[in-house]
Structure 1
Amino acid sequence: MYDFGIRQAHTGYRIAYRPQETNHCPGCGRSHWMIGRLTAECAFCGTALPLIAGGLSGNGVARTHTAPAHSPLAA
Protein backbone atom coordinates (compact mmCIF):
# COMPACT_ATOMS: atom_id res chain seq x y z
CA MET A 1 0.00 0.00 0.00
CA TYR A 2 1.38 3.43 -0.96
CA ASP A 3 1.24 6.09 1.77
CA PHE A 4 0.83 9.43 0.01
CA GLY A 5 1.25 11.45 3.22
CA ILE A 6 4.76 10.24 3.99
CA ARG A 7 6.05 10.06 0.43
CA GLN A 8 4.70 13.48 -0.57
CA ALA A 9 7.47 15.19 1.39
CA HIS A 10 10.06 13.35 -0.71
CA THR A 11 8.37 13.42 -4.12
CA GLY A 12 6.63 16.81 -4.16
CA TYR A 13 3.11 17.68 -5.25
CA ARG A 14 1.51 15.23 -7.69
CA ILE A 15 -1.49 16.00 -9.84
CA ALA A 16 -4.36 13.84 -8.59
CA TYR A 17 -8.09 14.09 -7.95
CA ARG A 18 -8.71 15.00 -4.32
CA PRO A 19 -12.28 14.18 -3.21
CA GLN A 20 -12.69 16.94 -0.60
CA GLU A 21 -11.37 19.78 -2.80
CA THR A 22 -12.41 21.66 -5.93
CA ASN A 23 -10.45 19.96 -8.69
CA HIS A 24 -9.74 21.81 -11.92
CA CYS A 25 -8.71 19.82 -14.97
CA PRO A 26 -5.07 20.38 -15.97
CA GLY A 27 -6.10 19.97 -19.62
CA CYS A 28 -9.03 22.38 -19.97
CA GLY A 29 -9.44 24.06 -16.57
CA ARG A 30 -13.04 22.94 -15.99
CA SER A 31 -14.19 21.13 -12.88
CA HIS A 32 -16.78 18.49 -13.86
CA TRP A 33 -15.54 14.94 -13.23
CA MET A 34 -16.69 11.35 -13.74
CA ILE A 35 -15.38 9.40 -10.76
CA GLY A 36 -14.37 5.75 -11.07
CA ARG A 37 -12.71 3.32 -8.70
CA LEU A 38 -9.12 4.38 -9.31
CA THR A 39 -9.34 7.42 -11.62
CA ALA A 40 -11.41 10.53 -12.23
CA GLU A 41 -11.99 11.61 -15.84
CA CYS A 42 -12.77 15.15 -16.97
CA ALA A 43 -16.27 15.21 -18.47
CA PHE A 44 -15.23 17.79 -21.09
CA CYS A 45 -11.81 16.81 -22.44
CA GLY A 46 -11.32 13.27 -21.08
CA THR A 47 -8.14 13.92 -19.08
CA ALA A 48 -7.81 11.17 -16.46
CA LEU A 49 -6.28 11.69 -13.02
CA PRO A 50 -5.57 9.10 -10.34
CA LEU A 51 -7.66 9.34 -7.18
CA ILE A 52 -5.59 10.40 -4.19
CA ALA A 53 -7.37 7.70 -2.12
CA GLY A 54 -8.06 5.24 -4.91
CA GLY A 55 -8.53 1.62 -3.95
CA LEU A 56 -8.29 2.21 -0.21
CA SER A 57 -11.96 1.85 0.70
CA GLY A 58 -14.96 -0.25 -0.23
CA ASN A 59 -16.21 -3.79 0.09
CA GLY A 60 -13.66 -6.57 -0.16
CA VAL A 61 -10.57 -4.39 0.23
CA ALA A 62 -9.36 -6.06 3.42
CA ARG A 63 -9.56 -9.81 3.23
CA THR A 64 -8.79 -12.11 6.11
CA HIS A 65 -8.35 -15.86 5.88
CA THR A 66 -10.10 -17.69 8.70
CA ALA A 67 -9.77 -21.19 7.26
CA PRO A 68 -6.44 -23.06 7.20
CA ALA A 69 -4.62 -23.05 3.88
CA HIS A 70 -5.18 -26.81 3.36
CA SER A 71 -8.63 -27.35 4.82
CA PRO A 72 -10.40 -30.57 3.76
CA LEU A 73 -13.27 -30.31 1.31
CA ALA A 74 -16.75 -31.17 2.50
CA ALA A 75 -18.34 -33.86 0.35
Structure 2
Amino acid sequence: MMNSMTTARGESFPHNPGFRGYHVLYRENEVNHCPGCGRTHWYVGRVSAECGFCGTALPLAEATARGTGGFSRAHGPLAIADAA
Protein backbone atom coordinates (compact mmCIF):
# COMPACT_ATOMS: atom_id res chain seq x y z
CA MET A 1 0.00 0.00 0.00
CA MET A 2 2.73 2.47 0.91
CA ASN A 3 4.58 1.81 -2.36
CA SER A 4 1.61 3.13 -4.33
CA MET A 5 1.86 6.46 -2.50
CA THR A 6 5.60 7.02 -2.85
CA THR A 7 7.64 8.01 -5.87
CA ALA A 8 8.97 4.53 -6.57
CA ARG A 9 9.12 4.82 -10.36
CA GLY A 10 10.71 8.27 -10.55
CA GLU A 11 7.42 10.02 -11.28
CA SER A 12 6.02 12.98 -9.40
CA PHE A 13 3.78 12.49 -6.37
CA PRO A 14 0.97 10.28 -7.76
CA HIS A 15 -1.80 11.90 -5.71
CA ASN A 16 -1.04 15.49 -6.69
CA PRO A 17 -4.36 17.41 -6.77
CA GLY A 18 -3.16 19.41 -9.77
CA PHE A 19 -3.17 16.28 -11.92
CA ARG A 20 -6.52 14.83 -10.89
CA GLY A 21 -8.51 16.57 -13.62
CA TYR A 22 -12.02 17.99 -13.24
CA HIS A 23 -13.24 18.71 -9.73
CA VAL A 24 -16.39 20.56 -8.71
CA LEU A 25 -16.07 24.03 -7.18
CA TYR A 26 -18.61 26.55 -5.94
CA ARG A 27 -18.31 29.64 -8.12
CA GLU A 28 -19.49 32.99 -6.82
CA ASN A 29 -21.99 34.97 -8.98
CA GLU A 30 -23.06 31.86 -10.92
CA VAL A 31 -25.91 29.36 -10.54
CA ASN A 32 -24.37 26.38 -8.77
CA HIS A 33 -26.27 23.11 -8.95
CA CYS A 34 -25.46 20.60 -6.24
CA PRO A 35 -23.72 17.49 -7.61
CA GLY A 36 -25.58 15.41 -5.01
CA CYS A 37 -29.20 16.51 -5.43
CA GLY A 38 -29.24 19.10 -8.24
CA ARG A 39 -30.73 21.93 -6.18
CA THR A 40 -29.34 25.45 -5.95
CA HIS A 41 -29.67 26.54 -2.28
CA TRP A 42 -26.26 26.98 -0.59
CA TYR A 43 -24.86 28.09 2.76
CA VAL A 44 -21.64 29.88 1.86
CA GLY A 45 -18.76 30.22 4.30
CA ARG A 46 -15.23 31.55 3.97
CA VAL A 47 -13.66 28.50 2.31
CA SER A 48 -16.57 26.19 1.45
CA ALA A 49 -20.25 26.10 0.53
CA GLU A 50 -22.73 23.50 1.79
CA CYS A 51 -25.92 22.44 0.03
CA GLY A 52 -28.96 23.49 2.03
CA PHE A 53 -30.81 20.25 1.22
CA CYS A 54 -28.40 17.30 1.18
CA GLY A 55 -25.31 18.76 2.92
CA THR A 56 -22.84 18.23 0.07
CA ALA A 57 -19.85 20.53 0.64
CA LEU A 58 -17.84 22.18 -2.13
CA PRO A 59 -14.72 24.33 -1.88
CA LEU A 60 -15.04 27.93 -3.03
CA ALA A 61 -13.21 28.66 -6.27
CA GLU A 62 -12.09 32.04 -4.92
CA ALA A 63 -10.78 30.53 -1.67
CA THR A 64 -8.63 27.93 -3.43
CA ALA A 65 -6.96 30.63 -5.53
CA ARG A 66 -5.93 32.75 -2.54
CA GLY A 67 -6.06 30.38 0.43
CA THR A 68 -3.33 29.74 2.98
CA GLY A 69 -2.15 26.69 1.06
CA GLY A 70 -0.75 28.98 -1.63
CA PHE A 71 1.86 30.59 0.61
CA SER A 72 5.40 29.35 0.93
CA ARG A 73 8.18 30.33 3.35
CA ALA A 74 10.73 30.09 0.56
CA HIS A 75 9.48 33.31 -1.05
CA GLY A 76 8.95 36.82 0.23
CA PRO A 77 10.42 38.93 3.02
CA LEU A 78 10.73 36.05 5.51
CA ALA A 79 13.08 34.15 3.18
CA ILE A 80 15.43 37.16 3.07
CA ALA A 81 15.36 37.53 6.87
CA ASP A 82 16.00 33.80 7.38
CA ALA A 83 18.95 33.81 4.98
CA ALA A 84 20.77 36.59 6.86
Q: Scaled by the length of structure 1, what TM-score is found?
A: 0.57
- Structure 1, gaps ≥5 residues long: 1-6, 58-64, 70-75
Q: CA RMSD in A?
A: 2.2
Q: Hey, which of these two has a bigger chunk of helix by percent? A: 2
Cα shift readout 1:2-58 (whole Å, capped 9, x = no counterpart): xxxxx6xx653320100021100000000000000110000000000000011638x
- Structure 2, gaps ≥5 residues long: 1-17, 68-76
1:53 equivalent in structure 2: 62
In 2, Cα distance between equivalents of 1:13 and 1:19: 18
Larger RCO (CA under 8 A, 6+ residues apart): 1
Q: Percent identity?
A: 57
Q: Scaled by the length of structure 2, what TM-score is found?
A: 0.51
User: Deviating runs (4+, > 6 A) in structure 1?
Assistant: none
